[in-house]
Chains A and B, each alone.
Chain A
């Protein structure tokens, strides 16, 4: 089964818990979270709280988590 064919049906869903804390999930599984530091930077971490990167905008942080989870999907077949 093609990973590419699977992707549209397994889009990331996003949720806000606080104004400075967001989580991304796919099929109910956590991909990671976005935490806004006091400096205003968006810190992206995976589901094990391992840092992925820091970004100036929420959109950039979302793109980074999406890309990191897509990479994991490509490598393992599961994010």
Chain B
């Protein structure tokens, strides 16, 4: 769902970006993902939070942007959600502007690859879902956000 939430937080608040990965307690169906997105969008809209969710083969990677207080409140709820486990914070940093200002929770269906990445290629989602060093994690996060925006523009 696209929305204009970029008005919050106010100019005096610090804008924070948080990226985490987690593992679904069971593989999610499209209907379960739709329900999760509906819930997330409603909650994020109320909190002035924007972001993007990606899901592949039982793993989630989620981007969240908003005020530090609202993200802390949100993460508290997310950590208590029984639908996933093994939550790992990949990136938690201040930002000057939102990457996903038009999305309360953007989503574009991601297909599971048929096989390993071509020789010489990293697999972006694997880097995020299974862990990599800070430099690769930051790069992979940018790649996933880039993919989402290219796909969403079509």
Contacts and interface: CB of A to CB of B under 8 A. Distances in A.
Same complex for A and B? Answer yes
A25 B122 contact: no
B20 to A, nearest CB: 19
Contacts, number: 59
A19 B114 contact: yes
Nearest to B115: A19
A14 B139 CA distance: 11
Interface string A6-22: 00000001111111011
Interface centre among A14, A16, A25 (most CB of B within 10 A): A16
Contacts of B31: none
A17 B143 contact: yes
A16 B146 CA distance: 12
B150 interface: yes
Contacts of A13: 122, 139
A49 B147 contact: no
B90 to A, nearest CB: 16
Interface residues of A, number: 17
B120 interface: yes
B110 A30 contact: no
B38 to A, nearest CB: 24
B122 A16 contact: yes
B144 interface: yes
26 contacts: A14-B122, A15-B121, A15-B122, A15-B124, A15-B139, A16-B117, A16-B118, A16-B121, A16-B122, A16-B123, A16-B124, A17-B143, A17-B147, A18-B113, A19-B111, A21-B147, A23-B124, A23-B143, A23-B146, A25-B139, A28-B139, A28-B142, A30-B142, A30-B143, A49-B150, A58-B118
Interface of B: 110-111, 113-114, 117-118, 120-125, 127, 138-140, 142-144, 146-147, 150-151, 153
Interface of A: 13-19, 21-23, 25, 28, 30, 33, 35, 49, 58
Q: 4 closest pairs, A vs B, by CB?
A: A16-B117, A17-B147, A15-B122, A14-B121
